[in-house]
Structures are given as structure tokens and as C-alpha cells.
């Protein structure tokens, strides 16, 4: 049977020449690979697979097999996919995960089976605080952090009348909580459209009536693209400043750069971070895929490098979960962000930067690093985690 069709919506990518090697490390990569919300998931997969290629198809010196499964942007489909990966494929590690509702749907069964989950994006508050788990690691951020940086940026610029728009799901609520934590006053308008919504006529009408100074929007995937197109078509006041999280200012959004030229965004990574590992990653990604990597790609690249470093420590073994967890927690790898270390809840301690959408000399839009907003930032939930 063709392995690609043996798992609905799956893509199999296996390291070559593993026939005579040791039993391969099996990674289940569960992410969104179809539909309007798929751009971040495709970027995740590409970043992870680039790292594996650069490592010679091995993780920790052991041949690696990656089974990428499309969660179809559905918690139910994700649970079914994870069940197959854990029980039938017997993967050693689960990675991927773009959307927090998907991760939260899968996490209980994964943790119950003692399957280690390394999220390359989704990072909800529920797993950072009281619900933290020794089997969970994030190579991205805690959901609130990027939005906290945006709140600081907005406050530092002296804006008072702020509108916040985010989807009505866990990461959207984390976004609202994060940005408000650093604002000097409460938003004059908060809107929570349905996750996946593509028509923003109602939201734009409310924005127009609210007389705001700045709009902060977190609208992942196709939501953000539709929003900026409809925002421009509605003839909104050009004096209104717009700010978004860096992961929304991805390649898909930059293809509409004329609509977001000069828009600020915040996050823990930028393509122009001045470190050797990041320069090598960006150059390799451009060569492999023909376009700039996104933050999603950078986080998944780091996830693969983290796994590689841990398996080097364990001699390629995954059966001793405590040893593997300790090796992962040590994070002995070179991140595209520079120094990388985990807090007690297995979320990164890291800087948060400001960037701005800028037109390059070649006419293409990029995100240019403009400053550091938060240094060695730790999420607010870590004190609730009992893994101290």
C-alpha cells in the first residue's frame, strides 16, 4: 500500500538510505496543510524538513522518518490523526501544531500515552500554567508574549484609543489578554470574530465608528489577508496606525505588502537577526523554497534542531522518557534566535522585538528589525506550573 494514502491527508517524508541503519526515529508532524488557514502549517513543515535535510536526514545521528498529517483545521480530525500517529505509527515525538484549539484537543491523549509533544507554534496559556506537562515543550513562545510586546510598543508610542481584533478561540483570548497587559488604558473596542471568518464588513463598520488611534489585529492565515484587503477597500482613515503579531506578517501577508507597507509587528524572531545560525537558516531556506522564511518556519527549524540535540545526548534512544525530557530541557543547540533556554514550564525565555514591513531594493516586502521591546521575557503563567 502506498504509505502516502494510508493516512488520510498525510504526506510521508523519510530519510533515504536507512535500510541498514538502526530503527529510525519517528516524528509525527501534525499541522494544518489544507484550506485557507494552511499557510502557517506549510511553513512549519518546510522549516522542519529543511532542518532535517541539513542534518543529513538524521536526528541525533539516527535516521529519521517524518509522517506529516493534515489536521484539516479541525480538532476532531486532529484527534483522529494523533491517535493513528501514536497508536498505529508509534511515533516517538509529536510536533507541528499551528492552532491552539488543535493542540488542546490532542494534548490530553498525547500526555496520557507519555508521548512528547514539541509545538512549533501553538502555545496556549492552559499549557503554560497549572496545566503544564513534563511531556510538552514549545519552541515558539507563550501565546501572550508577542501580544504583550505589541502592547508595550503601542503604549510607548502614546496611543490611547486602541482597538483589538482577534479570533474567538484560545489563542485569540490569549492575544487580547497579552496586549491589554501592557496598554496604559483599556481598549475602546474589542472584537472577536469567528476563527476562519473571511468577511469583516461588520468589524470594519465598528472600527470606523469607534474613532480609534491604532488597530491591533491578530488574524491568522487567510483571515489576515482578507482583513487587510477589505480594510483598504473600505477606505479606512490612513492616519489609523496598525500593529500585528510578527507571525501574521508572514510570506502570505507580505505578498500583499502594498496594503501593509509600514505596519509594525512584534515577535521573537526576524530574518535579519544578526547571528550565524540565523543567517545560515535564511540562506538555506531561500535556496530550498525560493522565498523568505516566516516565523513559523524558524520555530519548526528550531524544533528539529532541539530534537537533534536531545537525541545526541541520549544516544538516539527515546525509550527512557525521563532522560529524553532532561535532554530536551537542556536545549543544547544553536537557535536561529541566538541563545535559547526554557523556563520551568518548558516555554522559551527570550527577547521580543519590533519589526516593520518595508519594501526592499528588489521591490519585495520584508520585515525589518527595528528594536528590542522585551529582554529575556518570561511568560506570566510560569509561577502556576508545578514543575518548579
- pLDDT digits over 58-94, tens only? 999 999 999 999 999 999 999 999 999 999 999 999 9
E strand intervals along the chain:
10-14, 25-31, 58-59, 62-70, 93-96, 116-119, 136-138, 162-165, 189-191, 214-217, 241-245, 264-267, 341-342, 348-359, 365-377
- pLDDT digits over 149-197, tens only? 999 999 999 999 999 999 999 999 999 999 999 999 999 999 999 999 9
Instruction: Please name the helix (run of DSSP H) or strand (run of DSSP E) that holds residue 171, with its range, or none.
Output: helix 170-182
Mean pLDDT of 9-29: 60
Q: Give, in order, the Cα–Cα distances in Å from 39 to each of 35, 43, 99, 220.
A: 9, 6, 12, 9
Mean pLDDT of 259-268: 94
Threshold 0.85, pTM exceeds: yes
**Residue 374, pLDDT score:** 97
Mean pLDDT of 345-354: 98
- pLDDT digits over 225-262, tens only? 999 999 999 999 988 999 999 888 887 888 888 999 99
Instruction: Please name the helix (run of DSSP H) or strand (run of DSSP E) that holds residue 160, with its range, or none.
Output: none
**Residue 6, pLDDT score:** 31
Amino acid at each position: 500500500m502506498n504509505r502516502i494514502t494510508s493516512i488520510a491527508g498525510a504526506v510521508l517524508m523519510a530519510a533515504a538510505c536507512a535500510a541498514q541503519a538502526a530503527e529510525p526515529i519517528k516524528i509525527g508532524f501534525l499541522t494544518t496543510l489544507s484550506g485557507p488557514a494552511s499557510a502557517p502549517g506549510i511553513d512549519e513543515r518546510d522549516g522542519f524538513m529543511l532542518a532535517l535535510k541539513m542534518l543529513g536526514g538524521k536526528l541525533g545521528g539516527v535516521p529519521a522518518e517524518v509522517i506529516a498529517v493534515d489536521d484539516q483545521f479541525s480538532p476532531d480530525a486532529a484527534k483522529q490523526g494523533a491517535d493513528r500517529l501514536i497508536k498505529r505509527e508509534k511515533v516517538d515525538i509529536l510536533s507541528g501544531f499551528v492552532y491552539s484549539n488543535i493542540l488542546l484537543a490532542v494534548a490530553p491523549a498525547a500526555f496520557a500515552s507519555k508521548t512528547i509533544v514539541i509545538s512549533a507554534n501553538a502555545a496556549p496559556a492552559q499549557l503554560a500554567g497549572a496545566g503544564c506537562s513534563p511531556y510538552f515543550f514549545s519552541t515558539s513562545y507563550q501565546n501572550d508574549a508577542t501580544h504583550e510586546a505589541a502592547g508595550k510598543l503601542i503604549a510607548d508610542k502614546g496611543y490611547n484609543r486602541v482597538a483589538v481584533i482577534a479570533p474567538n478561540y484560545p489563542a485569540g483570548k490569549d492575544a487580547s489578554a497579552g496586549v491589554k497587559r501592557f496598554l496604559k488604558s483599556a481598549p475602546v473596542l474589542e472584537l472577536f470574530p469567528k476563527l476562519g471568518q473571511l468577511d469583516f464588513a461588520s468589524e470594519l463598520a465598528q472600527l470606523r465608528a469607534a474613532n480609534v488611534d491604532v488597530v491591533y489585529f491578530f488574524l491568522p492565515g487567510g483571515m489576515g489577508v482578507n482583513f487587510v484587503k477589505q480594510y483598504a477597500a473600505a477606505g479606512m482613515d490612513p492616519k489609523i496606525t496598525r500593529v500585528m503579531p510578527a507571525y501574521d506578517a508572514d510570506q502570505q501577508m507580505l505578498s500583499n505588502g502594498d496594503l501593509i507597507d509600514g505596519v509594525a509587528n512584534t515577535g521573537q524572531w526576524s530574518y535579519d537577526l544578526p547571528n550565524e545560525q540565523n543567517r545560515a537558516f535564511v540562506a538555506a531556506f531561500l535556496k530550498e523554497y525560493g522565498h523568505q522564511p516566516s516565523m513559523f518556519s524558524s520555530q519548526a527549524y528550531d524544533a528539529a534542531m532541539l530534537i537533534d540535540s536531545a537525541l545526541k545526548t541520549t544516544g538516539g534512544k527515546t525509550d527512557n522518557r525521563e532522560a529524553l525530557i532532561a535532554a530536551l530541557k537542556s536545549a543544547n543547540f544553536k537557535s536561529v534566535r541566538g541563545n535559547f533556554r526554557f523556563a520551568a514550564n518548558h516555554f522559551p525565555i527570550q527577547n521580543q522585538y519590533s519589526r516593520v514591513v518595508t519594501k526592499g531594493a528588489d521591490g519585495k516586502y520584508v520585515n525589518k528589525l527595528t528594536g528590542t521591546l522585551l529582554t529575556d521575557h518570561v511568560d506570566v503563567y510560569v509561577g502556576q506550573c508545578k514543575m518548579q
